[in-house]
Amino acid sequence: MKKSVQIATLAAGIFTVTGLLAVGQAQTKPEVTMVLDWFVEPPHGGFYAAVQDGLYEAKGVKVNLVPGGPTIAGYSLLGSGKVEFAMTDSAGMLSAREEGVPLVGVYANFQLSPQVLMYHKSNPVKSFKDLAGRQVAVTPGAPYWDYIVAKYNLKGKVQQVNYSGQQATFLNDEKLVSQGYAVAEPYTLEKAGADIGYLLVGDSGFSPYGMIATTEDYIKKNPTIVKAVVEATQEGWQRYIANPAKYGGSLQAVNKDLEPDFLNWSGKAVIPFVTGKNDDTKKHGLGYMSASRWTTMYKALRQVGVLTKDQDPKKAFTMKFLPKP
């Protein structure tokens, strides 16, 4: 899919707003910016549903959604105060905190990660150990990749190249393995004639939450805004998974390359990743995160050396803003 429109939107859209602005006796709603983790597609549907249906504004806040991309580091934007919220995952959060960036996850939009490593079936990869001797396109510094390399003893045995986001690179090289999303690339690549398979990264033992995060300082100074964003986001995702087709137009307004068939396919494909396989979201509602999963992720990353310092993973997230079911 073409990305030029979205990159232009990103360049123009990242800014920080100052909160309540007095104009005479009147006050406007506070505005915040949330940078997404990729170009706009159905995995962001719940956020756009919340905007389309006015859920954020009904809670007293205006949320500006800004597309991400392969060169956009949400952690850095949050840490520098250029945005108030960013999409990330629990592994990246723990890495950021180890580096001294005090980020906090406040809502899990994905219970399971749709991250995959794709291959052409003409050159199959049956297991993570089989990546030895292969060229793999991944985002530099991706914690999931560092974990896989360490756990499956792939250091020096696999050639890592930078992931560019261009599908033509993968299509033209049947020996290349490439990162992707189970809810996006398989559809477009198969439509382009590729016969692909993939390894779900979560099956490697690396299973982070996908989430929105902010900083400790922002939570301390703006708890009402954080609460409003979390509550409206949860309702937005509830509405999106109930009727993805209703919100396709909002996604297309930002990413004009999205086709109706893809929107329908991907909108349905994201649902099991949003709701998860266990009963957590049934018991606690969409967006829930447990201390046990955070601790498991922390221990796994420590074990393989992705994390090198002691920290309390329970400080990396909070559920105090999530509505009770």
Query: Does 26 lie in the same domain as 14?
Result: yes
Is 96 strand, coil or helix? helix
User: Of 154, 171, 204, which residue sits at a domain end?
Assistant: 204
Rounded mean pLDDT, 30-47: 96
The per-residue pLDDT for range 121-150, each reduced to its tens digit, is 999 999 999 999 999 999 888 889 999 999
Q: CA 169 to CA 164: how far, in whole Å?
A: 8
pLDDT (0 to 100) of residue 1: 44
Query: Does 170 lie in the same domain as 142?
Result: yes
Inter-CA distances, 250 with 7, 41, 44, 67, Å:
17, 10, 11, 13
Residue 198 within any structural domain of the chain: yes
Domain enclosing residue 213, as ranges = 4-112+208-316
Gyration radius of the chain's alpha carbons: 19
Residue 230 within any structural domain of the chain: yes
Rounded mean pLDDT, 48-61: 98
Inter-CA distances, 165 with 61, 138, 237, 238, Å:
33, 9, 26, 29
| CATH number, residue 160 | 3.40.190.10
The least confident of 13-22, 58-67, 213-222 is 13-22
Rounded mean pLDDT, 168-176: 95
Query: Does 276 lie in the same domain as 238?
Result: yes
On the 0-12 / 13-18 / 19+ scale of CB atoms within 10 A, 33 is: buried
User: Of 204, 220, 238, which residue sits at a domain end?
Assistant: 204
Question: 137 forms bridges with which residues in the sheet?
Answer: 161, 178
pLDDT (0 to 100) of residue 325: 87
Q: Which two tokens stand for residue 146?
A: 């560092």
What one-character DSSP code corresponds to residue 289? -
Query: Does 257 lie in the same domain as 212?
Result: yes
Residue 199 within any structural domain of the chain: yes
Query: Does 245 lie in the same domain as 188?
Result: no
Q: Which residues contact 27 (CB under 8 A, 6 or more apart)?
A: 20, 21
The count of structural domains within the chain is: 2
Residue 12 within any structural domain of the chain: yes
Query: Does 162 lie in the same domain as 29?
Result: no
Query: Does 95 lie in the same domain as 215?
Result: yes
Query: Does 297 lie in the same domain as 268?
Result: yes
Query: Does 45 lie in the same domain as 174?
Result: no
The per-residue pLDDT for range 7-27, each reduced to its tens digit, is 444 444 444 443 433 333 346
Query: Does 34 lie in the same domain as 126?
Result: no
Q: Which two tokens stand for residue 250?
A: 């909002």
Residue 325 within any structural domain of the chain: no
DSSP strands (E only) in the chain: 22-23, 26-27, 31-35, 62-66, 85-89, 103-110, 115-120, 135-138, 159-162, 177-181, 196-200, 210-215
Query: Does 198 lie in the same domain as 63?
Result: no
pLDDT (0 to 100) of residue 27: 65
> 10 Å Cβ neighbour count for 17?
14
User: Of 204, 221, 238, which residue sits at a domain end?
Assistant: 204
Query: Does 284 lie in the same domain as 245?
Result: yes
The per-residue pLDDT for range 151-164, each reduced to its tens digit, is 999 999 999 999 98
